Structure 1
Amino acid sequence: MRFALDGMLDVLDHRGPDERGSRLYVEQGLALGHTRLSLVGLDHGHQPIETSDGDFAVTVNGELYGYKRIRTQLACETLSVDRKSDSAISLPLYLKHGLAMVEHLRGEFAIVLYDHREKRLLLIRDRFGIKPLYYAKTERGIVWGSEVKSILKHPDVQAKLCPKAALHQMMQVMVPGSTSFEGVQAIQPGHMMIVELRDGRLETRTKRYWDLNFPTSHDPNPDPAEYVQGVQDRLVDAVATRLEADVPVGCYLSGGIDSCSILGLATTLQQSPVKAFTIAFDNAEYDESHIAKLMAERTGAEQELLLLTEKELYGPAFERATWHAERTFYNTLAVAKWHMSRRVRACNYKAVVTGEGSDELFGGYPFFKRDWLGREDEGGIFAGAILAEEDLQHSAWQDLCGFTPSWIQPWMLTLEKIRPLLSDDMQDLLREYDPVAAVAGAIDADAVAGRHRLDISQYTWCKTMLEGQILTWGGDRMDMANSMEARPAFLDHHLAEYAVTIPPEVRIRDGVEKWVLREAMVNVLPRELYERKKFAFMAPPAHTDPIKRAAIQEMIDHWLTPQRVQTLNVLDAGRLKQFISDAWQETDGTVARRNDIVMNHSLQLHMLQGQYVEGLPLPVVD
């Protein structure tokens, strides 16, 4: 048991290089382990945390806010360790409230708690899935970990890519709760898994404790000023809460109103200048660092600017980002985020406040506006990536929502491009499988029934792409790859619960997305940004630059050899080769963007096979 646990912790060292702890319940066959990134209670906070009698133990990944107030209300003297860390409130909350403890938790967290008296194990994930938590059921019990790679180190779990998941990754949209690997699943956001030993057998059940609850009707005569003030008050509180730590906290800063709002508020709330970290690209069409620079100058922030070219976006860093992501990604923004978290740590920062979640709560993405207000002339770099150039429908989504959300339509077109590339065996295996319907089937029909079209679009995106994309390969996985924690203030559940009550015409007003947020931050944002439309935060695709094209082609030549493609047997080697050859001749920008997406996914599927199944070593990044 100790040997297996040590191997699982070794592969998670990047998540917590500051300290390692474990607790074995040998007679019960239970082992708890933890690798710590110390941000609060630097000289305390040893985990697992136990009660003095040893009957209760817990590990916490992430941050629990408001812990000082809660600590004054609870009897924490039962703990056998120092009580100065935020994580230490978890056990007293459980002892007082039982499973209802989750109602008192605020923050981003993954918690594993063992109750020896009840022979009960709890696996709890935060409301939006900011922090990851996975598990696998085996013949001998249950194995869990913050990343899939740790579970795959357990001797009872075999590393094998799942064919259905491979198809989902190729089309970008995973089924909620699934992973790239057979037998490994995710605890879904806002859920807990309860594992109990009954008559010598393990019984498991899953309980949802929180969800985005859009109302079935909104105020027909809303006062916009009321909602503007409501957003402002809650966002200020969310940012202030996330600035609290025993180490310096910086900010990610792009050119969008989300991160600029965060920086503006952080500057006001902190006495000392804020450190801002910005990514710049060598393509003006995708670069917004000039706006970020304007915001940094306005706030007096010390800006760290990281310019990324094909040298950084492809090659060894691309491979390492894939290993950390544990799934494929459609754009090298994930690689850019890996580089940025690396720079943050090089500057001796362990935590940043970020702007993720704003688009989800306030209707910021162009596909939200399209679902409510109809199609506009929105081509450009959105087309082929996050917007479909034609209107599509799917019966499963029509039945669920009354329409097919615009956010999934570009990935339906990607699926059409992928299916002919599948190997004959894969086509036979998945002939009757409809991945688009599978995603729809994972959505709670009661949560969308009778809701406004904008609410439905936002809810279905949050249940799929927010957790499966934005917060994984675009968030936690790339940040924690370099032992750095991101704190998305917009995903504070107090703010989120208020945001769903805001009428659609206040979220998007006169065609202006995120209108209520813009007005709430009007005194924080530069005029140029306040008036600016949504910008796509993506890295330049390979087809935009012959140098980038050469860089990805070098990776294709290395990874997509006929032998390797045949061994994995997801794609047909001949068809894939012809597709790539044709893709480089494509002149239509929309089609070229989609081709680039297919190439990225194809590359990474074979990287995952090499890294996790074949055990190939990871490259060193200069």
Structure 2
Amino acid sequence: MCGIAGAVCSSGVDPETVRGMCGTITHRGPDGSGLHVEPSAVLGMRRLAVVDVVGGDQPVYSEDGTIVAVFNGEIYNFAELRTELLDRGHRLAASGDSECLVHLYEEHGDAFVHRLRGMFAFALWDGRRRRLLLARDRVGKKPLYWGMRSGSLRFASELKALIDDPRWRGEVDPVALHHYLTFQYVPAPWSIFEGIGKLPPGSTLVWQDGQVRVDRYWRLDATPRLGPVVEAEEAERLRELLLEATRLRMIGERPIGAFLSGGVDSSAVVAAMARQSPQPVRTFCVGFEETGFDEREHAREVAARYGTDHSELLLSASPLDVLSTLAWHFDEPFADSSAIPTFLVAKMSSREVTVVLNGDGADEIFGGYRRYALLQRASRLRVPPTAAPLLDAAGRSLRSLSRRGSLLRRVGWGLELAGLPTADRYTRLMSYFTERQKREIYTPWQCGRVAGVRSGAIIERAFEESFAGCDLTRIMDVDVNTYLPGDLLVKVDISTMANSLEARSPFLDHVLMEWAAGLPGELKIRGGTSKYLLKRALADWLPAHLLQRQKMGFGVPLASWLRTGLRPLAHDLLTDATARNRGIFDPRAVARLLSEHARGRDHANRIWTLMQFELWHRTHLPAQPAVRPVVDGQRRLRSM
């Protein structure tokens, strides 16, 4: 596991630029560094040593030295690939996975990415052809940012490595910000900066002669499998695949543990680890004093069942002290509040282990989110078009007056979604700010900058591109292509790598995912039971009451924090002169959100989204003028 950075330019690259970029991401690889230098290409990396600790330094080279690569991630089938390469006459100097890349490229060209089973982002320079190949793993576990200016291309595992050079620090992209307010993250291919993008999951980028081409090499195929489905056989196959995916992710020379929340997914991974580990598994859990958010009791039960070496962390108050740290590590505005416990449990785990396994991906591929059942119920409703606006207004009113998880809030959601098409229902469920709410909070200047831009179009496109057999499984496929790589995987990658910790996700093994994608919807959600097949497969592994209890999620008591410990910070951040003078958000609309939330209406997610943007801006662009001259009503505001 590493962090990578580099630059290519026909007219030459300064090695110190790339050396500095690597220095910015030292936390991703504290165990060593490497740099390849030639006139038109410089590739660098920082190493977190897990596999082949002694001999696995980078960059790695072909036998004649003309092909060089730097690599971030893990290739779990590297032993098989090494045997194949040795049989074909290649000479491998080390015993790890990264060296396979250059030799596989010699054998298969760019198509060798299809041979890799794992998580990765890499850069490969073909010196003979003066050609750079960048690639990112199928699901998007490992990040890769890139930008082009005047024929020069730079790339890095983290955005901060690019923008540390003021010449590459651009303007905030208004479209990226617009999408962030909807989804709580900036979706690929955008980044928060104009002129810098993210390489999408399952994609390659080729730079040659100053020209760039991006191609997608993989997308999860959710086409339903043909033929009869026998539940018992499918449950057995699921267990086999999960055990294999877990076993592959237990390979390494450094201590390994697992996040154990007490939910079905992380518990399943711990069970699979315990069945294949000669030593007690080390498990780590974070809990809250608020009982509605605390799952430590369930985590303890699983830990006791499998005899794990279990550690807990209790969050007893709003974590003011960690917010500035998160703002620095998250290179873009990021408003998933579960980043707080994820970061803290990663910090705790890193004191004892170098690698942790987690349960990410199970909800998306087996149907675990409550929204799937809600959307399934909403799809059965038939509402006259004339009634849809009335139901929408009534639903929004009920939701604003109800508490999280209450029956009244579920009724409100049902009314609000009843008159919408499936993709629009999903967008509404996932939106922190709807299009209407964004227009209400923007200044006229900001409204003009994003006129005609709809964040829902991202969801509609993903929905239309899916080959899944029904609306329910198509929505799961949408999550695999949007929410999973844009939110969950970013949260875990940044939180773990900030603490020099590697996270591995057995449920995101692409072999397991491709098998699960073809399962019929009724094996995923049946009779109100989420993750039906997964729970059946785990019946002998986990207690029945744990499998049957309602999904809690990894949330935090954000609404109460913003009325207590975080209330002064929210007010100061969002209403002071610095925030007002950006010219992006209407100060009166922001003040109204804060006031209504304090009086009991739940605007926690929207306030948090605005706070994270402001914290990000002050952390990464402290000296940048707020905005260019803009028009606010009839009054012209000037940059400050």
Is TM > 0.5 for Structure 1 vs Structure 2? yes
Comparing 180-189 and 419-428, the one that deviates more: 419-428
Q: Name the structure 2 match of 1:214.
A: 222
Cα gap change, 1:387 to 1:502, in 2 (>3 Å)? farther
Q: Name the structure 2 match of 1:41.
A: 52
Aligned pair partner of 2:358 in 354, 364, 388: 354
How many Å separate the matches in 2 of 1:177 and 1:408? 22
Alpha-carbon shift at residue 428 of structure 1 (Å): 2.5
The answer to whether 1:324 aligns with 2:336 is no
How many Å separate the matches in 1 of 2:456 and 2:50? 41
SS in 2 for 1:214: coil
Alpha-carbon shift at residue 424 of structure 1 (Å): 2.6
Matched ranges for 1:280-359 at <5 A: 280-311=287-318, 313=319, 315-347=320-352, 349-359=353-363
Contact 1:278-1:304 within 8 A present in 2 as well? yes
How many Å separate the matches in 2 of 1:281 and 1:106? 37
Cα gap change, 1:521 to 1:73, in 2 (>3 Å)? same
Aligned pair partner of 1:23 in 17, 36, 58: 36
TM-score computed with the length of structure 1 as normaliser = 0.89
TM-score computed with the length of structure 2 as normaliser = 0.87
SS in 1 for 2:539: coil
1:510 corresponds to which letter in structure 2? G
How many Å separate the matches in 1 of 2:35 and 2:464? 41
SS in 1 for 2:34: strand
Alpha-carbon shift at residue 221 of structure 1 (Å): 4.5
How many Å separate the matches in 2 of 1:77 and 1:31? 30
Matched ranges for 1:466-505 at <5 A: 466-473=484-491, 475-505=492-522
Cα gap change, 1:385 to 1:41, in 2 (>3 Å)? farther
Contact 2:427-2:456 within 8 A present in 1 as well? no
The answer to whether 1:204 aligns with 2:231 is no
2:65 corresponds to which letter in structure 1? G
The answer to whether 1:2 aligns with 2:15 is yes
SS in 1 for 2:50: coil
Query: Residues 190-223 of structure 1: CA distance to partner in whole angstroms, max 9, x if unpaired?
Result: 11111122xxxx22111211111111x4557421
Query: Residues 475-527 of structure 1: CA distance to partner in whole angstroms, max 9, x if unpaired?
Result: 10111111111101100001001001111111223321111111111111122
Alpha-carbon shift at residue 393 of structure 1 (Å): 6.8
Q: Name the structure 2 match of 1:432.
A: 452
SS in 2 for 1:165: helix
Aligned pair partner of 1:544 in 557, 560, 568: 560
Contact 2:162-2:168 within 8 A present in 1 as well? yes
Comparing 135-144 and 78-87, the one that deviates more: 78-87
The answer to whether 1:529 aligns with 2:546 is yes
How many Å separate the matches in 1 of 2:165 and 2:66? 25
Alpha-carbon shift at residue 189 of structure 1 (Å): 0.7
Alpha-carbon shift at residue 436 of structure 1 (Å): 2.0
Alpha-carbon shift at residue 62 of structure 1 (Å): 0.8
Q: Name the structure 1 match of 2:282.
A: 275
Cα gap change, 1:576 to 1:338, in 2 (>3 Å)? same
Q: Name the structure 2 match of 1:620.
A: none
Query: Residues 11-70 of structure 1: CA distance to partner in whole angstroms, max 9, x if unpaired?
Result: 1011111101111111xx211010011101111111111124220000110111121221
Comparing 253-262 and 93-102, the one that deviates more: 93-102
Alpha-carbon shift at residue 445 of structure 1 (Å): 3.3
Instruction: List runs of 5+ in structure 1 lacking aligned partners.
Output: 617-622
Aligned pair partner of 1:166 in 167, 174, 177: 177
Q: Over aligned residue pairs, what C-alpha RMSD do you find?
A: 2.7
How many Å separate the matches in 2 of 1:615 and 1:79? 52
SS in 1 for 2:257: strand
How many Å separate the matches in 2 of 1:81 and 1:569? 57
Q: Name the structure 2 match of 1:458.
A: 476
Alpha-carbon shift at residue 560 of structure 1 (Å): 2.6
Instruction: List structure 1 runs of 4+ shifted beyond 4 angstroms.
Output: 76-81, 217-221, 375-380, 382-388, 390-395, 412-415
SS in 1 for 2:462: coil
Q: Name the structure 2 match of 1:193.
A: 205
2:560 corresponds to which letter in structure 1? T
Query: Residues 256-293 of structure 1: CA distance to partner in whole angstroms, max 9, x if unpaired?
Result: 11000000110110000000000101110111111011
Contact 2:423-2:463 within 8 A present in 1 as well? no
Q: Name the structure 2 match of 1:133.
A: 144
1:520 corresponds to which letter in structure 2? A
Comparing 72-81 and 548-557, the one that deviates more: 72-81
Instruction: List runs of 5+ in structure 2 lacking aligned partners.
Output: 1-13, 381-394, 625-640
Contact 1:4-1:153 within 8 A present in 2 as well? no
SS in 2 for 1:560: helix
Contact 1:243-1:249 within 8 A present in 2 as well? yes
Cα gap change, 1:461 to 1:152, in 2 (>3 Å)? same
Query: Residues 88-127 of structure 1: CA distance to partner in whole angstroms, max 9, x if unpaired?
Result: 2111111111112111101111011111122221110001
Comparing 8-17 and 527-536, the one that deviates more: 527-536
How many Å separate the matches in 1 of 2:417 and 2:147? 35
How many Å separate the matches in 1 of 2:472 and 2:345? 33
Aligned pair partner of 1:241 in 244, 248, 254: 248
How many Å separate the matches in 2 of 1:150 and 1:386? 43
1:13 corresponds to which letter in structure 2? T
How many Å separate the matches in 1 of 2:440 and 2:113? 46
Percent identity over paired residues: 26
Cα gap change, 1:387 to 1:429, in 2 (>3 Å)? farther
2:583 corresponds to which letter in structure 1? N
Cα gap change, 1:413 to 1:364, in 2 (>3 Å)? same
Q: Name the structure 1 match of 2:231.
A: 224
Contact 1:414-1:598 within 8 A present in 2 as well? no
How many Å separate the matches in 2 of 1:507 and 1:111? 34
Q: Name the structure 2 match of 1:566.
A: 580
How many Å separate the matches in 2 of 1:31 and 1:225? 54
Query: Residues 150-181 of structure 1: CA distance to partner in whole angstroms, max 9, x if unpaired?
Result: 11124541243222222222222544321222
Query: Residues 304-325 of structure 1: CA distance to partner in whole angstroms, max 9, x if unpaired?
Result: 10111325x2x23112112222
Cα gap change, 1:299 to 1:561, in 2 (>3 Å)? same
Alpha-carbon shift at residue 328 of structure 1 (Å): 3.1
SS in 2 for 1:277: strand
SS in 2 for 1:549: coil
The answer to whether 1:109 aligns with 2:112 is no
How many residues are treated as equivalent by the alignment? 590
Contact 2:125-2:131 within 8 A present in 1 as well? yes
How many Å separate the matches in 1 of 2:36 and 2:181? 40
Aligned pair partner of 2:262 in 255, 263, 271: 255
Aligned pair partner of 2:168 in 143, 146, 157: 157
Query: Residues 370-418 of structure 1: CA distance to partner in whole angstroms, max 9, x if unpaired?
Result: 33344899996357999972455799x95xxx64343643517644334
The answer to whether 1:100 aligns with 2:139 is no
